[in-house]
């Protein structure tokens, strides 16, 4: 596999946390449908430990993965944490049991409970990056933002981020605190949030795409498959490589319950994409 010489491998989060751009998302370390413990918890622990041993130092989770399971497994696998490992978690969603809908709750009281629970499960006194999982349409956003700013001032949170937001949402939050990350659904097939990516790039905000192979129509999937075959990589690796080359402020958090897939994801850092390759991938779908 060809190596890339000009691809930036790290990103300086909020000017004080240098993280490798290939991180690890922990949704898949839980049980089926993101509920409960996995059938083999030791496998999840092994994957988390292997990720860090392989150089991954940005671990992304949320209190609703399980719920609570991924945070517990992260602590079991990685605590006490290596000095350079950054733990990012999210709060602001609730689910009351199997089959139940996931609901917004970004009220200050819920966020207080969620934050304290995450600190306890992760065995941390301060969370490096706490992200509002969703803006709650039932709660004025200013109330959620004001609580998060206060929690940061109290020392429970080092840095703050947002998820599934527009440029206007980010600008509103920036009136309350420094926004250092934005986590939106985005991939080579789904470019709805192109304007958000560009705003984040201009503000030196980390952009963290989730579902990096989502949304592709059959024809676009076939084109990606053909290109991946030509480059002797998997479709998933190629989709990750496109994101890494798309913008230097993109941090990746692919998740997996397979050690083999973990290694494949990490190796996407070494895939070379030429300007012509990027044009071919850019043209898979129109920007929405």
pLDDT digits (tens, 9 = 90+) for 32-89: 989 999 999 999 999 999 999 999 999 999 999 999 999 999 999 999 999 999 999 9
194 vs 199: CA distance, rounded Å: 9
Is residue 94 scored above 60 in pLDDT?
A: yes
What per-residue confidence (pLDDT) applies to 247?
97
**What does the mean pLDDT of the chain come to?**
94
The dotted CATH code for 10-217+248-257 is 3.20.20.100
33: left (phi over 0), alpha (psi -120 to 50) or beta: left
Q: At 19, is the pLDDT very low, low, confident or very high (cuts 50, 70, 90)?
A: very high
| Predicted pLDDT of residue 288 | 65
CA dihedral 225, 227, 230, 231 (to 10 degrees): -100
Across residues 217-227, what is the average pLDDT?
Answer: 90
Name the DSSP letter for residue 33.
Answer: G
Does the pTM surpass 0.85? The reply is yes
DSSP per residue, 170-216: HHHHTTTS-EEEEE-B--SS--TTHHHHHHHHHHT-EE--BSTT-S-
Given pLDDT bands bounded at 50, 70 and 90, which one contains residue 286?
A: confident
Residue 3 has pLDDT above 50, yes or no: no
Confidence of residue 256 (pLDDT cuts 50, 70, 90): very high
- In the set 65, 130, 186, 199, the catalytic residue is 65
Nearest to 240 by CA among 218, 260, 268: 268
- pLDDT of 5 > 60? The answer is no
Map tokens 């709060």 to a residue. 91
Q: Which parts of 43-95 are beta strand (E)?
A: 58-60, 86-91, 93-94
pLDDT score at 89: 98
Distances (CA, A) of 279 to 220, 272, 283: 14, 14, 6
Res 97 pLDDT > 70: no
- C-alpha 160/C-alpha 88 separation (Å) is 9
Q: What percent of the chain clears pLDDT 70, i.e. is strictly above it?
A: 97
Assign 98 a pLDDT band (cuts: 50, 70, 90): low
The question of whether 65 is a catalytic residue gets the answer yes
Look at residue 4 and tell me whether its pLDDT is greater than 60: no
Checking 77-82 for CB contacts under 8 A at 24+ apart, the result is 77/44, 77/45, 77/46, 77/48, 77/49, 78/48, 78/49, 78/52, 79/122, 79/123, 82/52, 82/57
pLDDT tens by residue, 161-211: 999 999 999 999 999 999 999 999 999 999 999 999 999 999 999 999 999
pLDDT of residue 79: 98
How many residues appear in the chain? Answer: 288
Strand partners, 110: none
Can you give the pLDDT at residue 260? 96
Q: Give the model confidence (pLDDT) of 125-154 as tens digits.
A: 999 999 999 999 999 999 999 999 999 999
DSSP state of 35: B
Which residue, among 72, 75, 81, has the nearest Cα to 52 in the 3D structure? 81
């Amino acid at each position: 596999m060809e190596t890339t010489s000009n691809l930036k491998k790290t990103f300086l989060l909020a000017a004080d946390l240098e993280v490798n751009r290939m991180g690890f998302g922990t949704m898949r370390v839980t049980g089926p449908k993101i509920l409960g413990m996995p059938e083999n918890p030791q496998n999840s622990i092994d994957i988390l430990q292997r990720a860090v041993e392989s150089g991954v130092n940005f671990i992304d989770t949320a209190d609703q993965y399980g719920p609570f399971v991924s945070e517990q497994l992260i602590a079991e696998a990685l605590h006490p944490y290596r000095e350079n490992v950054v733990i990012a978690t999210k709060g602001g969603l609730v689910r009351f049991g199997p089959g139940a809908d996931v609901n917004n709750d970004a009220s200050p009281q819920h966020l207080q409970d969620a934050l304290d629970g995450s600190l306890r499960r992760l065995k941390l006194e301060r969370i490096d990056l706490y992200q509002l999982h969703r803006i709650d349409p039932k709660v004025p956003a200013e109330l959620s933002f004001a609580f998060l700013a206060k929690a940061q001032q109290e020392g429970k949170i080092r840095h703050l981020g947002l998820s599934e937001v527009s440029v206007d949402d980010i600008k509103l939050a920036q009136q309350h605190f420094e926004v250092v990350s934005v986590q939106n659904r985005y991939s080579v097939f789904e470019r709805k949030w192109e304007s958000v990516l560009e705003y984040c790039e201009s503000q030196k905000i980390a952009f963290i795409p989730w579902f990096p192979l989502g949304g592709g129509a059959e024809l676009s999937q076939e084109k990606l498959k053909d290109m991946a075959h030509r480059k002797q990589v998997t479709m998933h690796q190629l989709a990750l490589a496109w994101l890494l080359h798309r913008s230097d402020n993109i941090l990746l958090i692919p998740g997996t319950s397979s050690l083999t897939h973990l290694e494949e994801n990490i190796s996407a850092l070494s895939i070379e994409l030429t300007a012509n390759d990027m044009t071919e991938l850019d043209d898979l779908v129109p920007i929405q």
